[in-house]
């Protein structure tokens, strides 16, 4: 009987050792998976943030371009083109403001829309005084897009 007890003890020790080896192997497999996955995941998140920021900066540059183009067209006394460009500017400003996170940037973009009626009517009449309004709009756009994109300096 002593031999049977030592055989059972050896078998239970062997089962316990196998069980621990399987658990340790599983833990090592999980650690190896995480060691390979986490750096790629972090890089992906960083690249997504970079892409989102670049898209936001692109939207702000488009607004600056449209405001500048409307001013240039009006200064060349091409009020019809300036009116079309300013209409695109105001429509795009609404879109960008809606996509901008709630912050000072969104408010600054929405403030650009306040002069829409005056600019639109002055362009429709061909009033040369619209240049002052468009110049002010251009300057405010540069300031607002600097705020909205997180740029500390107003350009």
- CA 109 to chain CA mean position, Å: 16
- For residue 46, the model assigns a pLDDT of 94
Looking at residues 37-44, what average pLDDT do you find? 86
How confident is the model over 48-65, as a mean pLDDT? 94
Retrieve residue 2's tokens.
Answer: 């002593």
- 38 band by pLDDT with thresholds 50, 70 and 90: confident
Q: In b/e form, how buried is each residue of 9-47, taking b as 16+ CB within 10 angstroms? A: eeeeeeeeeeeeeeeeeeeeeeeeeeeeeeeeeeeeeee
User: If DSSP codes are grouped into helix, strand and coil, which group holds residue 129?
Assistant: coil
Please indicate whether residue 14 or residue 79 has the higher confidence score (pLDDT).
79
Q: 78's torsion region: left (phi>0), alpha (psi -120 to 50) or beta?
A: beta
119's CB contacts (< 8 A; 6+ apart) are 86, 130, 133, 134, 137
Instruction: Specify the DSSP class assigned to residue 115.
Output: G
E strands present in the chain: none
List, in order of start, the domains of the chain with CATH numbers.
7-148 (1.20.120)
Mean pLDDT for the chain overall: 86
Mean pLDDT calculated for residue range 39-45: 89
Mean pLDDT throughout 45-49? 94
């Amino acid at each position: 009987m002593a031999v049977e007890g030592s055989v059972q003890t050896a078998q239970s020790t062997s089962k316990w050792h196998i069980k621990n080896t399987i658990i340790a192997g599983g833990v090592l497999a999980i650690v190896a998976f995480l060691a390979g996955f986490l750096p790629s995941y972090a890089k992906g998140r960083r690249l997504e943030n970079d892409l989102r920021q670049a898209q936001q900066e692109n939207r702000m540059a488009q607004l600056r371009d449209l405001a500048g183009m409307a001013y240039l067209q009006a200064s060349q006394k091409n009020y019809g083109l300036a009116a079309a460009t300013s209409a695109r500017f105001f429509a795009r400003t609404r879109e960008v403001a809606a996509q901008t996170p709630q912050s000072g940037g969104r408010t600054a973009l929405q403030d650009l829309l306040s002069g829409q009626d005056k600019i639109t009517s002055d362009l429709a009449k061909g009033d040369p005084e619209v240049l002052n309004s468009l110049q002010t709009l251009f300057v405010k756009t540069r300031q607002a897009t600097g705020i909205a994109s997180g740029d500390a300096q107003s350009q």
